Structure 1
Amino acid sequence: MLRTTAGLTAALLLAWTGSASAADTVRLPAPTGPHQVGVTTLHLVDRDRPDPWPDARGRARELMATVFYPAHDVRGYPVAPQMTPKAAETFGWLDVTAAHPELPKSGVDWAATKTHSHVGAPASPVRRPVLLYSPGAADPRTINTTLAEDLASRGYVVVSFDHPGETSEVEFPDGRVRIIALPADPRTHPEIFRAMIDTRIADTRFVLDQLEVLARGQNPDAAGRALPRNLSRALDLRRIGMYGHSAGGTTAAQSMYDDRRLDAAVNLEGYLDHGTAQPGQPGELLPVARDGVDRPLLLYGTDGYRDARYDSSWAAMLAHGGCTMKRVVTNATHWVFTDFAAMAPQFQAAGLMTAADRVKLVGAIEPSRSVPHVRGAVAAFFDRHLR
C-alpha cells in the first residue's frame, strides 16, 4: 500500500542530489512463452467522467494504458524502454525519495532498462484472452513489466493501466507528466481509500468499454494515433481476467464482483476492506469479501507482509470457499510481485542497496525462484480459467 501521506506530493519540494553516474544497466528477465511480444500505448479520455483528484478536478478523466500482445513479426521494430526518459526522471527523484526509500538514491539510470517488447509490431491475428493489470498505490504500471511481458509471450493480450493522481508519475503523449496528488494518506483516511478504490473501479470499467471499441475495429486512442496492425483482431473479449498488486489487487477483486465482463481475477496482496484511521486495523469489508464471488479469485500473498487488516479481510474472503483460493510466496515480502523482485538483487550486487533494504522490499528469496514462482502461478491460474 501507499507508504507516505500526501507527503509524496510534498516530496516535490525536495532537491534531488543523486549522482549522475549510472550502474550497469538493470536487466529484466526475458519472457518464457513461445511468442515474441509487441507493445503499444493508448491514451484514453473519459469525457463523461470528471477527474476526482485536486490537481485535475473538473477535467475529464484520462488514463494511459500499455498493451502487450503476441506479435506476428518483430523484425525492424525497436525494443521499448521500461520507462520513458521523462517518466524515469520523475520516478528517480519522487518515487525513490518518498514511496520506496529502500531503493538506491543515486547510481541508477532508470531510463536505461529495456523491455523485451517491440514497439508497434504487428499483432498475431488470432483471438487471445485479455488480461487487465492495475498497479499498487503510488507505483506506475511500468514497474510490473516482467509479468505482463511473460503473460503476453504465453498468448495473452495484457492491458496495463495507471490511475493518474495516485500514481507517482504518468506521462501523456503530449509530454505532460502528472504526479501523485492524493489529499491525504489512504492508510489513515478511510474516506480517501474508498474514493481511491471507487476511482480505480470506474477506471477499470472505462478500460473495458474502450477495449470493446478496439475489438470492433475502431481506434479508442484520444488522438487517433496509429495502432499496430491486427491489434483489434487479437482481442477475445469473451475471456477476460484481471490481476493487480496491492491496491491494484483490491481493484481486481472488487471489479470482478461489480462487472460480469471479468471472468477471473488475481489479487496480489491487496486489502479487501476499507481500513480505519489506525493503520493496519480492520475496517468495513468490501462487498466482494462480505458477499463472496461466483467466479475464480486467487489471493496470492507473501509470508513477510501481514497485519490485522490483511489477515481479517482475506479470512473473510476465504470463508466463502467455492471459487476463492490462496497461495503464498515464502521468504518474500510485498514488492516481490513487481519488477523489483529482479531489480533489487542487481542493486545489491552493485553495492547500491543493502541486504536489509533488499529484504525489506522483496524479501531474501532469489529472483531465480521468485520470478518463475509468480509467473507460473499467475499464468497457470488464468490458463485454467480462461483457456
Structure 2
Amino acid sequence: MNRHPSSGPGPGPGRRTVAKAALLGTAAVLAGPAAVARADRPLVLRLPAPTGPHPVGLRTFALTDPSRTDPWQPEPGEPGFGARQVMVSVLYPARTVRGFPRAPQLTPAEAGVFTGLAPLVRPGLPAAGVDWGATLTHGHVGAPPLPGRRPVLLYSPGGGDSRTLGTTLAEDLASHGHVVVLVDHPGDASQVELPDRMRVTVLRGEPDAETFRTMVDTRVADLRLVLDRLGSLPLAPVMDRRRTGIYGHSAGGTAAVSALAGDDRIAAGANLEGYLDLDPVKGLARPLLHFRTDGFAGAARLTASWEGVPGRRVRLTGAGHWVFGDHAFLVPRLRAAGLVTAGTRDALIGPEPPAAAVSSVRRELRSFFARHLS
C-alpha cells in the first residue's frame, strides 16, 4: 500500500472483487503464518497518559443501520451479506476508575489479525516481533461517568485505520472534559471485531476515485447513524448533544467536513489533513479548523482542495501524514527496537521527534472546541 491509502487516484477494485477479497483476506490473515509473531520476546508498546485532570472511562457499542446495505460486503445471496454495522467506543471523564480495568487497544482477535495486516496497511511496519494485543489504553472499561453534561466529539479515522489508532488524542480530549466517540468504518478499517464476526479492510493500494467516493459517502452515513443513536446510548445523560463537534484524519477529515456541511446537529469541525474536493464546502459558515503536515505526499491536491474553504490553518513542520494518530507514539518505539527503518519512520510520522506536533494538535483542538462548543 502506498503512503496515503485514504485518498487519491489509483487502481481500485470493483464491488464484487472487493467483497470477495475481503472474505479471502479474512481467512488468509486468520490462518496464515504471518498472523503470529515469531519472536521469543515480542515488543510490548505503550501509549502515553492523557494530560487532563480527569481519569477516562470507556464503553463500546455496536450499532446497526437496517436501512443501508453495507457497500463493502458480498453481493446478495453470498455469505456475509446484510445491513450496515458500525462499532463505536465512547471515552468520557470518569468519576472514579478504581476497580475498573484498562482496555486493550486491540481485542485479542483484532490483535491477531492486525499482526498480519500491519505491513500491508502501513508498508514498513513489522510482520513479527510485536505483541499488538498487549498495548493498553488509559480508558477504564465501564467506569462510572463524572456527573454533568459535556460536549460531544465524533472522530473518523484515516483510511485503513481502525478507530483505536486514534485512542491517545481521544483520551486526552476526554480527560479535559469531552465525551469522545470513536467511530469505526468496517470494510475500510484495517480490522473491526463486530459482535458476530471479524471484518478486514478491502483496501489494497491507493483507492481510485470511485472507491474513495464510496468510502467517504459510507463514512458520512455512518457518522449520521451515530448522531441518530447518541440519545439512546446508556451514556446519553452525560452528553450535551446541543454541543457536538467532529474531527477526522485523512479520509476521516474529508468525511468529517462533509458531515459538518450537511448536518445542522454538528456545530464545529476539525480536518486533520483530509482532501476537500468531493463535496461543496467553500461556503461553509460553521467553525472549521485545518491541520496539515509538511511531509504529506498529496500536498498539491490538498492545497488545491482547500482553496476557498474557510477556517484556520495550522501547519506541522518535520511531521508526516500519520502523526495525527497513535503511530506518533508507536513508530518511534518500533524504530528504537530496530523493527522499522528510519525511512519508514520518516514516511509515516516525519523525521522530527513528534512531541511538538502532538502537543500542537492537542492544544489547538482543545482550544478550538472549547471556544466553539461553549
Q: Does TM-score exceed 0.5, indicating one fold?
A: yes
**Correspondence 1:238 to 2:242:** yes
2:344 to 339, 357, 365: 357
Rounded Cα–Cα distance in structure 2 between residues aligned with 1:179 and 1:24: 24
How far off its partner does 1:49 sit?
1.8
How far off its partner does 1:84 sit?
0.5
Rounded Cα–Cα distance in structure 2 between residues aligned with 1:260 and 1:78: 37
How far off its partner does 1:377 sit?
1.6
Q: What SS does the corresponding residue of 2:264 show, helix, strand or coil? A: coil
Rounded Cα–Cα distance in structure 1 between residues aligned with 2:306 and 2:180: 26
1:259 to 252, 260, 263: 263
Rounded Cα–Cα distance in structure 2 between residues aligned with 1:106 and 1:186: 24
Rounded Cα–Cα distance in structure 2 between residues aligned with 1:160 and 1:80: 14
2:329 to 323, 342, 346: 342
Rounded Cα–Cα distance in structure 2 between residues aligned with 1:266 and 1:346: 28
**Correspondence 1:118 to 2:140:** yes
How far off its partner does 1:367 sit?
3.2
2:5 to 2, 6, 20: 2
How far off its partner does 1:5 sit?
5.0
Q: Look up the match of 2:111.
A: 88
**Correspondence 1:293 to 2:284:** yes
Rounded Cα–Cα distance in structure 1 between residues aligned with 2:174 and 2:327: 20
Q: Look up the match of 1:221.
A: none
Q: Look up the match of 1:139.
A: 161
RMSD: 2.0
Q: Look up the match of 1:187.
A: 207
Give runs of aligned pairs for residues 308-327 of structure 1, distance below 5 A: 308-317=300-309, 321=310, 324-327=311-314
| Kept after mapping to 2: 8 A contact 1:242/1:265 | yes
Rounded Cα–Cα distance in structure 1 between residues aligned with 2:40 and 2:185: 31
| Kept after mapping to 2: 8 A contact 1:102/1:361 | no
| Kept after mapping to 1: 8 A contact 2:119/2:126 | no
Residues 363, 327 of structure 1: alpha-carbon distance in 2 compared, 3 angstrom cutoff? same
**Which consecutive segments of 4 or more residues in structure 1 shift more than 6 A?**
none
Rounded Cα–Cα distance in structure 1 between residues aligned with 2:206 and 2:320: 21
Deviating more after overlay: 138-147 vs 304-313: 304-313
How far off its partner does 1:287 sit?
1.2
| Kept after mapping to 1: 8 A contact 2:12/2:211 | no
Q: What SS does the corresponding residue of 2:362 show, helix, strand or coil? A: helix
* Post-superposition CA distance 1:167-188 (Å, at most 9, x none): 11100234x1111235x86632
How far off its partner does 1:23 sit?
3.8
Rounded Cα–Cα distance in structure 1 between residues aligned with 2:343 and 2:106: 27
How far off its partner does 1:22 sit?
4.1
Q: Look up the match of 1:222.
A: none
How far off its partner does 1:46 sit?
0.9
How far off its partner does 1:106 sit?
1.4
* Post-superposition CA distance 1:63-121 (Å, at most 9, x none): 00000000011111001011101111111101x13110121221110000001110000
Deviating more after overlay: 249-258 vs 377-386: 377-386
| Kept after mapping to 2: 8 A contact 1:102/1:360 | no
| Kept after mapping to 2: 8 A contact 1:39/1:119 | yes
Rounded Cα–Cα distance in structure 1 between residues aligned with 2:314 and 2:236: 34
| Kept after mapping to 2: 8 A contact 1:169/1:178 | yes
Q: What SS does the corresponding residue of 2:132 show, helix, strand or coil? A: coil
How far off its partner does 1:195 sit?
1.7
**Correspondence 1:269 to 2:270:** no
- AA matched with 1:138: G
Structure 2: any 5+ residue segments left out of the alignment?
none
- Equivalenced residue count is 350
Rounded Cα–Cα distance in structure 1 between residues aligned with 2:248 and 2:169: 11
1:74 to 97, 108, 116: 97
Same amino acid, percent of matched pairs: 49
Residues 138, 22 of structure 1: alpha-carbon distance in 2 compared, 3 angstrom cutoff? farther
Rounded Cα–Cα distance in structure 1 between residues aligned with 2:75 and 2:252: 21
Rounded Cα–Cα distance in structure 2 between residues aligned with 1:139 and 1:21: 28
Rounded Cα–Cα distance in structure 2 between residues aligned with 1:115 and 1:348: 21
How far off its partner does 1:56 sit?
6.9
Rounded Cα–Cα distance in structure 1 between residues aligned with 2:99 and 2:124: 38
Rounded Cα–Cα distance in structure 2 between residues aligned with 1:360 and 1:203: 30
| Kept after mapping to 2: 8 A contact 1:11/1:97 | no
TM-score (norm 2): 0.88
Rounded Cα–Cα distance in structure 1 between residues aligned with 2:74 and 2:40: 33
Q: Look up the match of 2:88.
A: 65
Give runs of aligned pairs for residues 207-226 of structure 1, distance below 5 A: 207-214=226-233
Residues 109, 244 of structure 1: alpha-carbon distance in 2 compared, 3 angstrom cutoff? same
| Kept after mapping to 2: 8 A contact 1:26/1:112 | yes
TM-score (norm 1): 0.85
- AA matched with 1:363: G
2:175 to 153, 172, 184: 153
How far off its partner does 1:54 sit?
3.4
**Correspondence 1:28 to 2:27:** no
